[in-house]
């Protein structure tokens, strides 16, 4: 089955998929919350992709695949983050505050709530921006499909990156709760924020980059 996945400009939630000359919209944010925290589980659940007309597809500002840089940028960002973490380690012991684990846990829950709310808000705005100019009368057809990277290498690397990012969330979070260290709190916030957007990588763009199974 021939397919092509295109990114939609300034849109973290939806992608355009062309399957056998028909156009579909796929939602990368569902199931909500689960894919924000464990993005690799996205491949396990069937997806409802909505068919749109060619005119509607042309209204979407897609990014040509040949203009998209390699995903190595993500690896570069992780590398830079690790270097910064090592550079900040010597001063970390001077930035601890005296709080109880209970208060630290409340602070963690507060930031979790704020960041998740922001992520849901971004998804909602992406949805409004995507569908406001589409002719809804032509989008009644849909397919239920399973979709995952065609290359095993991509599937393994994306899963490994997600698990690594998850570790960089959990370890600093637990460290802050036990020690009250501000650097650990900042590290937790940064990597949790990154984790909530990691699902934008789980449907690789390009021609025939994904295996699509119609349910």
Could you please report the per-residue DSSP string of 94-161? Answer: GGB----HHHHHHHHHHHHHHHHHHHHHHHHHHHHHHHTTS-GGG---EEEEEEEESSHHHHHHHHHH
Residue 132 is part of which domain span? Answer: 3-214
Per-residue model confidence as pLDDT tens digits over 44-102: 999 999 998 888 888 887 777 665 554 444 444 545 555 555 555 554 555 566 789 99
Confidence class of residue 151 from pLDDT cuts 50, 70 and 90? confident
Provide the mean pLDDT of the chain: 82
Per-residue confidence (pLDDT) for residue 26, from 0 to 100: 93
More confident residue, 70 or 132: 132
- The C-alpha atoms of residue 197 and residue 12 are separated, in whole angstroms, by 8
* pTM score, whole prediction: 0.80
Residue 188 scores a pLDDT above 90: yes
- The C-alpha atoms of residue 157 and residue 70 are separated, in whole angstroms, by 14
> Once rounded to an integer, what is the mean pLDDT over residues 109-119?
94
> Once rounded to an integer, what is the mean pLDDT over residues 133-140?
56
Per-residue confidence (pLDDT) for residue 21, from 0 to 100: 87
- The C-alpha atoms of residue 172 and residue 186 are separated, in whole angstroms, by 9
Per-residue confidence (pLDDT) for residue 93, from 0 to 100: 53
Decide the pairing of beta strands 14-19 and 47-52: unpaired
Per-residue model confidence as pLDDT tens digits over 5-30: 998 888 889 999 999 889 999 999 98
Terminal C-alpha separation, the chain: 14
Omega of the bond leading into 32 within 30 degrees of 0 (cis) = no
Per-residue confidence (pLDDT) for residue 131, from 0 to 100: 82
Q: How many CA atoms lie within 13 A of 131 on its CB side?
A: 19
Per-residue confidence (pLDDT) for residue 140, from 0 to 100: 60
How many domains does the structure of the chain reveal? 1
């Amino acid at each position: 089955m021939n397919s092509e996945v295109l990114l939609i400009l300034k849109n973290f939630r939806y992608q355009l998929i062309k399957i056998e000359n028909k156009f579909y919209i796929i939602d990368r944010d569902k199931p909500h919350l689960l894919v924000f925290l464990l993005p690799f589980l996205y491949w396990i659940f069937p997806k409802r992709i909505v068919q749109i007309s060619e005119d509607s597809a042309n209204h979407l500002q897609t990014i040509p695949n040949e203009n998209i840089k390699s995903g190595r940028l993500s690896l570069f960002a992780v590398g830079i983050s690790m270097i910064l973490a090592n550079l900040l380690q010597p001063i970390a012991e001077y930035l601890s505050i005296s709080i109880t684990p209970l208060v630290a846990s409340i602070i963690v829950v507060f930031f979790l709530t704020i960041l998740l709310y922001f992520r849901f808000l971004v998804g909602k705005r992406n949805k409004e921006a995507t569908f406001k100019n589409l002719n809804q009368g032509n989008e009644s057809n849909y397919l239920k499909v399973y979709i995952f990277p065609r290359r095993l290498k991509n599937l393994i690397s994306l899963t490994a990156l997600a698990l690594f990012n998850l570790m960089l969330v959990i370890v600093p979070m637990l460290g802050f709760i036990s020690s009250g260290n501000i650097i650990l709190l900042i590290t937790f916030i940064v990597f949790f924020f990154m984790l909530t957007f990691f699902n934008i990588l789980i449907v690789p763009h390009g021609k025939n980059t994904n295996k699509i199974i119609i349910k």
